[in-house]
Amino acid sequence: MLWRALIAARDLGRLHEIASILIRYGFGDFVRRMGMANALERAGRTLRWKHAEELAHLEPPARVRRALEELGPTFIKLGQVLATRVDLFEPEWIAEFSKLQDSAPPVPYADLQQQLGEDLGAPPEEIFAAFDPGPLAAASIAQVHRARLKDGSAVVVKVRRPGIRPVIEADLRWLMRLTELVESENPELRNFHPQEVVRQLEQSLRRELDFATECRNAERIANNFAGYTDQDAASPSATGKAADSATAAPLIVIPRVYWQWTGERVCVQEFIDGIPGRNLVAAERAGLDRKILARRGAHAVLKMIVEDGYFHADPHPGNVFYLPGNRLAFIDFGMVGRLTEERRSQMIRLMLGMVRNEPARVADVMLDWTGDSHVDEAGLLQEIQAFVDQYYGLPLKQLSLGAMLTDLVAIVRKHRIALPADLALLIKAFITLEGMGRELDPDFDMAGEALPMLERSLRARYMPAALIKRGWRSAGEMLALIADLPHDFFRLLRAARRGRLEIHIDVTHLKHVGNQLDGAANRLVIGIVVAALIIGSSIVMTVSGGPTLFGLPTFGLLGFLGAAAGGVWLLLSIWKSNRADRE
């Protein structure tokens, strides 16, 4: 049923391409186990096994990363999502996934021109005073062109590649079906939550395919930074530098969106004329203070996380530009993280517990994350105590928040605690942020920068105004519940009068017992039928007359054959049941 759907005409070509790439990178056994080879052979497609595993000399993480790159945009994005799941993969895998770069040969401008005109509402030459047909950058989903509006404003035009959506849709269908098969056939892989990862990938890709969503993300973050000042960013080393703290220009720049020309397949944004985040030499030559840049970047991301609960989820140097006056600009808001107020509170308590040597607080937060999963609480608390003790007494400057989070995630993996997707994204953002800060300033103290803001946010939660606000909200929810009680009670009585009152109790162990009883009853029925066939066939064998086969009564012989088939099925069923119980 699974692969019959996969070999539909719309997915067959893509399936053949995926299987061929996997074979070339040494994953031929995986192709066979998943049934792709059989499905393609039935559809008349042959796979090239001759050059299988030609790149198998690479380490498994590198082979997987190279295969993902070649498989295209969906799988590159999958690797980028996996790079955020530090709770599921070891550091060497995370390091390889983090190397995935989304680049592709550019689409000729002639192939884009018609689609671009449709999306802009007029030919590009009527809207722009100048438009560079050569792309500024090209990725697998989109490419970017420089342009200039008729009022002289420099802009970038991001255009989605024609025909990319059907390819991604086919890949997502294939991945979702594959994860269903993996979870049913390989119970040991369930700890990696493949279906949850693919759902996270699907949400991320659908947002990334819609450029209007990305622009709304950018505009929301820009609104959060309206009027933002960072008085703490100035340091003694800034004395004598350009008057960056007094400048009227915004410290954090988010590109302006030109909504009249922005839609699902195209977006027009302000061009950021700055120094790319990876070019530290150029930043120094421009007279920028790397220490201030590191602190301002950290403060900006911490504000997004701790105060706003809406943050740039991929703050690596490629998405940052340095501007005159030690200012920063962030671009590419295709991947953003969202944190509820409760989640922010948990993260603040966790990080304060790590910095202040409070293992019980750290353990409480982690147990909140486990949900209904069974966890060895005593063993978890013991490991967290040892984890916190190794940092006890160290000055803040010697604490590496990224290293601490990495060690904490190792404990999470050991106890098979799967972090919620938003927290996995957040931890990855923290680790990336600290790495970027230390590239700018080797003495960068992430813990020291984060602690004051965390303490301030925690105190703010217990200020009278915040308590009153939460109290009013809770009171409103309680009053709404009380107001709905008469209606809910009336519906309950009406269902009872009509005989439609149902009570559902879902107990996992009872369900398992019920399945075992169903299986036992089925085997008992088959056993009775087999016994009846044997007895009936024996009686038929003693009756003379009627058709014969090989000198024996035909109906008696058929009865014995049916009994033999039922007996074989019964033995196989019992064997499989015993094997499943042992596993």
> Residue 452 is encoded by which pair of tokens?
């004051």
Rounded CA separation 63/407 (Å) = 26
299-335 pLDDT tens trace: 998 899 888 888 888 778 888 999 999 999 999 888 8
Mean pLDDT across 353-382: 76
Q: Which residues are catalytic?
A: 314
End-to-end CA distance of the chain: 26
CB atoms within 10 A of CB 242: 14
Q: What is the pLDDT of residue 159?
A: 93
Give me the pLDDT at residue 90, please: 82
CB of 204 closer than 8 Å to CB of 25: no
- From the CB of residue 77, how many other CB atoms can be counted at a distance below 10 Å? 24
**β-strand partners of 310:** 338
Q: Which two tokens stand for residue 300?
A: 């900006």
Question: In the structure, what pLDDT confidence band is assigned to residue 387 with cuts at 50, 70 and 90?
Answer: confident
The pLDDT of 412-427, averaged and rounded, is 75
What average pLDDT does the segment 161-177 reach?
84
- Sorting pLDDT into bands at 50, 70 and 90, what band is 147? very high
Rg (alpha carbons) of the chain, rounded to whole number: 31
pLDDT in tens, 449-462: 887 877 777 777 76
410: its two tokens? 């190792």
Of residues 458, 210, 167, 208, the one with CA closest to residue 314: 208
Which is more confidently placed, 13 or 255?
Answer: 255
CA 81 to chain centre: 4
- What pLDDT is recorded for position 42? 53
Alpha-carbon gap, residue 236 to 112, rounded angstroms: 51
The 10s digit of each residue's pLDDT in 30-77 is 776 666 665 555 555 556 555 555 565 678 888 888 888 888 888 888
Give pLDDT tens digits for 475-504. 877 888 788 888 877 788 887 777 776 776
85 or 582, greater pLDDT:
85
Average pLDDT over residues 193-210: 82
Overall pTM > 0.85: no
Query: ∠ at Cα 334 (329, 338), nearest 5°?
Result: 90
Q: How confident is the model at residue 222 (pLDDT cuts 50, 70, 90)?
A: very high
- The set of residues, in sequence order, having a beta carbon less than 8 Å from that of 72 and lying 6+ positions away, is 140, 167, 171
For residue 377, the tally of other CB atoms under 10 A from its CB is: 13
- For position 263, what pLDDT does the model report? 92
As a whole number, the mean pLDDT across the chain is 78
Buried b (16+ CB within 10 A) or exposed e, 31-46: beebebbebbeeeebe
Would you say residue 360 has pLDDT above 70?
yes
Q: Are 340 and 361 in contact (CB under 8 A)?
A: no
Nearest CA-CA partner of 336 in 317, 318, 309:
309
All residues at 6 or more sequence positions from 10 whose CB lies less than 8 Å from its CB, including other chains? 166, 170
| Planar angle of CA 339, 345, 348, nearest 5 degrees | 100
8 Å CB contact between 162 and 107: yes
Q: Which residues contact 38 (CB under 8 A, 6 or more apart)?
A: 3
The tens digit of pLDDT for each residue in 472-483 reads 777 877 888 788
Model confidence pLDDT, tens digit, residues 233-276: 444 344 334 444 434 678 999 999 999 999 999 999 999 999 99
- Beta strand pairing call for 252-253 and 327-330: parallel
Q: How high is the pLDDT of residue 243?
A: 41
- Any idea how long the chain is? 583
* Structure tokens that stand for 249 in this block: 């220009």
- Of the candidates 20, 13, 96, which has an alpha carbon nearest to the alpha carbon of residue 58? 96
- Is 166's pLDDT higher than 50? yes
Among the listed residues 226, 231, 239, 249, the one whose alpha carbon sits nearest the alpha carbon of residue 295:
231
Amino acid at 388: V
Give tens-digit pLDDT for 113-144: 889 999 998 988 899 999 999 998 888 788 99
- Please tell me what DSSP assigns to residue 134: S
The values of phi and psi at residue 320, to 5°, are -130, 140
β-pair partners for 154: 148
Say if residue 439 is exposed, middle or buried (CB neighbours under 10 Å; 0-12, 13-18, 19+): middle
Q: Tell me if 571 sits within 8 A of 520, measured CB to CB.
A: no
CA distance 362 to 78: 30
Amino acid at 220: R
Return the H-helix or E-strand segment holding 147: strand 142-149
Q: Tell me the pairing of strands 552-553 and 327-330.
A: unpaired
Please tell me the predicted confidence (pLDDT) of residue 3.
Answer: 46
- The domain spans of the chain are 337-462, 467-503, 508-582
CA distance 21 to 220: 40
- Residues in contact with 376: Cβ distance below 8 Å, sequence separation at least 6, in sequence order: 415
